[in-house]
Structure 1
Amino acid sequence: MVKKISRMLLLLTAIAVSSFFLSDIFANEWKKPTETEKVDHLNGAIHQKQEFQLHDGTTYWAHKMTGQRDMTPYVFTIPIQGNSQNMTFRYRAYDESKKPNWKIVTLDQVQTLPLASGFVETEGRYIWLGKPIVYVDKGRATIEEKPGLASPVEVKQTSSGVELVFQLPMKAGFISEMWALDSRDPLVPWGEKMLDSIWLNLDVTEKAKWLYDGYYYQSPSTYEPTSESSFWRIPENYVLRSFLYTGGSKAARDMGYVMLKASLKQQEPEGYWKTQPRSTWLSTDYGIPEGFYDTRFNTGAADLMLRGCDQYQEKDFCQSAKKYASYFHNFVAMNHFVIAGVQQGWLVPDYGTAMNPMIQTHVSLNHQLAEINFLYKNYLQFGDQKDKDLADSMLYGVVNLGAQWILGNGDLHYAYFPDGTFGRKDYPYLTYNDLVETQRLYRQLHGMDEMTLTMLIDSKLKWMQLNNIQYR
């Protein structure tokens, strides 16, 4: 994980533990969609189109146009029947203080939609539109957005309603994309205050991008390549986490499946997800090149597969979670620190690379806890005793160090280093949430609380309260 965790990650961590869950009705109704992909080599561009057809008639589609020479834009349309006065477009806008809010326009009043992702809604037709995007592929699963080249969606009045007109620029060296989820049924039950707020903060267009091949996040300055408008394909999809753990809408259910399928395609044959960019600080500190293994991002991605396995009853998602667990077991066997105690414990380094399988980096407490939590949940899902045994050993690695994790001010150290020292500033509340989840799983499996975890939770919570840290 990058040194500075984003506000969005913290927000979605909080959302993930909220009280909304997909209803039993949604789970019982789910049937595997039909997925198709078509590639056309045009005179001057490569056109890729992906579709998911759901059993209730809902369609997810995505277009990707890779320009090879300058041409007129690729144009396609969506007709919508009805009275345009009753058709709305709901999108996220910002006030003067840059606080997000919902804004709604009617389609009889506009000739183009705002250049934003949003929801076209009328009786019998509900479409979640992505934001048109044009970018350059910078390599290492990194793109650089070119905002000035994207064309807004046109709204043309017709005798039977309106026609949405999409134009994807075709320019040499540039890629254009557009996606949508199109349904006969409402996608989000607007009016439920908490869901309205959650959706207002789900970002697939600004600091993060949902693209044809996956979820991209704004590139940190310590990654290469990078720029102010660069985004890299991150293994863990924070919006997907909200969809799977928060749910509460048809859009979350349907897009959750689509996003899981994209993540599945990015999983390496060995079972992990690469961080493709080069991290300058990992390269400097540990000699780790691009294409490395980040345990937190990977464990997050695998946890989503495990959740999808249960939620969609999809064999491929189940196998993906198992495959990652197997990879992680092998990684830990070669890379761990032994922590002495009544029961010997193991700490697992945060990063790895196929170029140097035996390399040992620091161990972040939040990484270690997330890995323990995944192994416990994997054990509860599939019953493999090896997962529980490894999780127990890793938990001993944490508890054997006990109060050494605690700073004088009550906060926790971020990491344990190969030389046996502790250091770096911990996140405001991410580690607290991880500790609480570890305690919950431990209690479920052992019938009681783990006392050292209780000590760490209490210390971190007291520090958070003294410093007015908002948490959930």
Structure 2
Amino acid sequence: MPRLRGKRCLICIIIIFMFMTVQVHSSATALEAFNQEFVRSQSKDFQLVPVFQDARQFAQAEERVYGWDVVQGKQPMGRLTMNQYRLANGDLYYYLRYLPQQSDKRSLMLSIPVELTDFTYRYVTYPLGYDFSKSQWSEIVSGNKETKLPKESMYIDDTAASYYLSYIDVFELQDKGVKKERYDLGKALRIGDECLLLEFPNIKGTSVEQWGVLSQERLVDWEDSMAPIHLRMADLNRVRKQGQEGIYYFTPSSYYPTSPTSFWFNPAHHIGELFIRTEGARFFEDFGLVSLYKAVRSQNQRGYWWSTPRSNWLMQDYGIDSSFYDTRFSTDAAIFLLKGYDKYQDPVFLEAGKKYGDYLLQFAENHHFETVNGGWLIMDYGHDMKPEAVTHVSLNHLVTEMNFLYHLYILTEEEAYYTLAGKIKQAVKDTRFSWIKENGDLWYAYMTDGTYGKQDYPVLTLKDLRISQGFFEKVDGYRDDDFEMLILSKENYLKANNLPLW
């Protein structure tokens, strides 16, 4: 009996080892598919015909892009593209987009080499409406090969791998880079035989999209006190959408086109910027790095980032149409790139930051109001097709541009950036008293008629001013008294009205 018991134990160990080997091989197979074989057609009716591919090597990732014509015999049906990033830590990001040219009741069926066997998943829910500040996490759900997955974007932990997988989103393509989600047309992922099955509807005039992050390490430390909060607030499910260029936001009602479920690409990359300075999830670094490379890719030839919808009030007040230059969003994107360079030392981030810095120098030269001591109040908005447009100057835009220029000067030691930063600083000093309202709050903007007006944000401008003091100390060796006066005035106003200071 002792010998038989020993043989049984040995058999159990061998079986367990074989099971673990299969699981590790499954996750490794998905991660190793860093090529066009990552996605395969499972349709009898449609074929994928390769039409292009490209690759770029970066310091922290390798990017590959593939394109296929989807055909039915000789009949073109649409174009499928895939962007992949193999990150330095071994993780894999992918993004699929299908643009049908014809409508057909039969869907394009695809598969990706992700095998789910024994796993748990969770996702963001919206019991109080589509508001990230009121969303909640679902219960942790266990699954196996027979599980029917919900139509949700999920964080999945399998026995030997970890995934973020979006559901299959369908958007109606609107004008000016805006797209309207059709959740009713979207599809859940389906568990297949050693793969996941993706159903992409053939509906002309739509964009069908699905993306994910794959890792052999846990993507999220769910025991971390803050990581689940940051992930929930970032959303990446129903409130914010990951697109080919970056994050899409709900389109404001003041933009055109718009609807309650329309999304526009905000070029600022605020979520990526949050993630590269946040601990508690491997997913933060993965998504942050991909966002940095997307920021480089989406920068236009002039050096800034377009805001593609039409802002109705910009059109009415200043005659500025769609695809305009928003100095705040573009400067935020450039700051993100400089922070990315500080952390990862990929020169492509600094090169893109300099490209924007050079554009800002040029824009400021022709779009500013000069103050009494030679300071420059740089206008908030511009348009390549309307270079004569004159707009207001908001304090938060202005100060953020200065902060960016100081940061760029620290990295490059190029005097032109420091000189313009100094002109902005002088402009704020020259106008310091005019920014303060009678109640101690700050005016939002210097208007085109020389007055000050509009309601300031609760704390955004205050945070920008605090950042400025840090750059003054680092570059000039001291904090500035006039900036401190503005900070204290705003803080005292917030305290008097029982409002948060941060």
Fold shared by both chains (TM-score > 0.5): yes
Offset from partner CA, 1:400-430 (integer Å, 9 cap, x none):
1122111111110000012210000111111
CA distance in 2 between partners of 1:89 and 1:131 (Å): 13
Please, which of 74, 83, 88 is the counterpart of residue 108 of structure 2? Answer: 74
Offset from partner CA, 1:375-408 (integer Å, 9 cap, x none):
0111111111221121111011011112211111
- SS of 1:169's equivalent in the other structure is strand
Please, which of 174, 189, 202 is the counterpart of residue 153 of structure 1? Answer: 189
Query: Who is 2:87 aligned against?
Result: 54
Task: Show the 5 A alignment for 1:122-161.
Answer: 122-155=158-191
Query: Within the alignment, does 1:112 sit opposite 2:148 as a pair?
Result: yes
- SS of 1:403's equivalent in the other structure is coil
CA contact under 8 A between 1:142 and 1:277: conserved in structure 2?
yes
Provide closer, same or farther for how the CA distance between residues 198 and 280 of structure 1 changes in structure 2, counting only shifts above 3 A.
Answer: same
CA distance in 2 between partners of 1:155 and 1:281 (Å): 48
What percent of counterpart residues are identical?
33
CA-based RMSD of the aligned residues comes to 2.0
**Structure 1: gaps spanning 5 or more residues:** 1-29
CA contact under 8 A between 1:35 and 1:52: conserved in structure 2?
yes
Query: Who is 1:408 aligned against?
Result: 438
Query: Who is 1:470 aligned against?
Result: 500
CA distance in 2 between partners of 1:55 and 1:367 (Å): 35
CA distance in 1 between partners of 2:381 and 2:88 (Å): 41
Offset from partner CA, 1:5-61 (integer Å, 9 cap, x none):
xxxxxxxxxxxxxxxxxxxxxxxxx95322111111112121111211234432111
More divergent stretch after superposition (382-391 vs 365-374): 382-391
CA distance in 2 between partners of 1:56 and 1:194 (Å): 23
CA contact under 8 A between 1:80 and 1:125: conserved in structure 2?
no
Higher relative contact order (CA 8 A, sep 6+): 1
Query: Within the alignment, does 1:434 sit opposite 2:464 as a pair?
Result: yes
More divergent stretch after superposition (110-119 vs 33-42): 110-119
Larger radius of gyration: 2
CA distance in 1 between partners of 2:393 and 2:416 (Å): 22
Following TM superposition, by how much is the alpha carbon of 1:323 offset from its aligned partner in structure 2, in angstroms? 0.4
Give the aligned residue type for 1:116.
E
Please, which of 101, 125, 137 is the counterpart of residue 136 of structure 2? Answer: 101
Offset from partner CA, 1:152-188 (integer Å, 9 cap, x none):
12245x6xxx753322212222221100001101112
CA distance in 2 between partners of 1:349 and 1:275 (Å): 16
CA contact under 8 A between 2:226 and 2:280: conserved in structure 1?
no
CA contact under 8 A between 1:215 and 1:234: conserved in structure 2?
yes
- SS of 1:139's equivalent in the other structure is coil
**Structure 2: gaps spanning 5 or more residues:** 1-57, 72-76
- SS of 1:135's equivalent in the other structure is strand
Query: Who is 1:456 aligned against?
Result: 486
Q: Normalising to structure 2: TM-score of the pair?
A: 0.82
Offset from partner CA, 1:203-251 (integer Å, 9 cap, x none):
2232321012322111111211111211111211121111123254321
Please, which of 35, 42, 64 is the counterpart of residue 36 of structure 1? Answer: 64
Query: Who is 1:19 aligned against?
Result: none
Q: Normalising to structure 1: TM-score of the pair?
A: 0.87
Give the aligned residue type for 1:60.
Y
Query: Who is 1:346 aligned against?
Result: 376
Please, which of 176, 188, 197 is the counterpart of residue 165 of structure 1? Answer: 197
Please, which of 276, 283, 287 is the counterpart of residue 315 of structure 2? Answer: 283
CA contact under 8 A between 1:274 and 1:291: conserved in structure 2?
yes
Give the aligned residue type for 1:348.
I
Provide closer, same or farther for how the CA distance between residues 165 and 461 of structure 1 changes in structure 2, counting only shifts above 3 A.
Answer: same
Following TM superposition, by how much is the alpha carbon of 1:440 offset from its aligned partner in structure 2, in angstroms? 1.3
Following TM superposition, by how much is the alpha carbon of 1:444 offset from its aligned partner in structure 2, in angstroms? 1.6
Give the aligned residue type for 1:368.
L
Following TM superposition, by how much is the alpha carbon of 1:281 offset from its aligned partner in structure 2, in angstroms? 0.7
Provide closer, same or farther for how the CA distance between residues 216 and 57 of structure 1 changes in structure 2, counting only shifts above 3 A.
Answer: same
Offset from partner CA, 1:297-333 (integer Å, 9 cap, x none):
1101111111122222222211110000000000111
CA distance in 2 between partners of 1:141 and 1:461 (Å): 39
CA contact under 8 A between 2:123 and 2:152: conserved in structure 1?
yes
Provide closer, same or farther for how the CA distance between residues 114 and 345 of structure 1 changes in structure 2, counting only shifts above 3 A.
Answer: same
Query: Who is 1:370 aligned against?
Result: 400
